[in-house]
Amino acid sequence: MSKGRDSGAAAGGAAAILLRYLQEQNRPHSAQDAFGNLQREHGLGKTAVVKALEQLAQQGKIKEKVYGKQKIYFPDQNQFPAVSDSELKVLDNEISDLSSKVQTLQQSCRQMELELKDLNGSMTTPEMIKEIEELKKDCANYTEKLERIKSAANHVTPEEKEKVYNERKLYCKEWRRRKRMATELLDAILEGYPKSKKQFFEEVGIETDEDHNVTLPAAV
């Protein structure tokens, strides 16, 4: 058989496959849709699909509609028996029931996906056992450390602790008082000083708390 006859036979086979597929589906398809749905099962190439659809449309076996740059193909509806209003109503009810079932299944799937996500984020039983063992070791170490602290002889008594806090409070109060006095004195001098405050400090050799990154504790 010649190459031309082989090509024609292949095109005829593609046309038969596409005609049967469109009639079974009975809904609009683009060439890309048909190619994507049939390529894996029948091994049809994109070019063969396009040519077969155009051939079927020219022969009047299917209908062709153009929407912008895209062509849509669907079977001639005259070949199908007429459907009565009662039959359409039955089909509408079936569609409504199936849509409801789909929504229920989708909701169930979403719920299961959330549960699966939670399970994937949870620890496995071996991981939990390992974590518990590590926590037990930490607890034992902290308990031992606490016992050593309790048994130490150099504890600070509450009285000694209170004394240290009172002394700190006293020293901070005096620090704050002297700093305020120094600030007031320097401000009085700077009122008649012709240069800047920074230059005055440099000439006199004054160092501030800020120069040494020291912050006066807040009053309690």
At residue 92, φ and ψ (nearest 5 deg) are -60, -40
- The tens digit of pLDDT for each residue in 95-125 reads 899 999 999 999 999 999 999 988 888 888 8
| pLDDT mean over 8-22 | 77
- The answer as to whether 26 is a domain residue is yes
- The tens digit of pLDDT for each residue in 123-161 reads 888 889 999 999 999 999 999 988 888 777 677 778 888
pLDDT at 17: 92
Q: In this structure, what CATH number is given to the domain that contains residue 65? A: 1.10.10.10
| pLDDT mean over 178-197 | 90
- The answer as to whether 147 is a domain residue is no
The domain in which residue 15 lies consists of 3-79
Distance (Å, whole) CA 122 – CA 101: 31
Instruction: Give the rounded percent of residues in the chain with a pLDDT score beyond 90.
Output: 30
pLDDT at 105: 94
CB 200 within 8 A of CB 189: yes
- The answer as to whether 51 is a domain residue is yes
Distance (Å, whole) CA 177 – CA 55: 102
- The answer as to whether 22 is a domain residue is yes
Answer with the residue of higher pLDDT: 208 or 9. 208
**Domain's final residue, options 29, 61, 79:** 79
Which pTM does this prediction carry? 0.37
Check pLDDT > 90 for residue 219.
no
Check pLDDT > 70 for residue 8.
no
- The answer as to whether 93 is a domain residue is no
Answer with the residue of higher pLDDT: 6 or 68. 68
- The answer as to whether 146 is a domain residue is no
| pLDDT mean over 16-21 | 91
Name the domain count of the chain. 2
- The tens digit of pLDDT for each residue in 66-89 reads 988 889 999 887 777 777 888 888
- The answer as to whether 55 is a domain residue is yes
pLDDT at 133: 94
**Domain's final residue, options 79, 105, 136:** 79
Q: Tell me how crowded residue 133 is: count the other CB atoms within 10 A of its CB.
A: 10
| pLDDT mean over 52-76 | 89
What is the pLDDT of the chain when averaged over all its residues? 85
CA-CA distances (angstroms) from residue 128 to 124, 138, 208? 6, 15, 56
- The answer as to whether 138 is a domain residue is no
pLDDT at 3: 43
- The region of weakest confidence among 11-25, 136-150, 171-185 is 11-25
**Domain's final residue, options 79, 110, 129:** 79
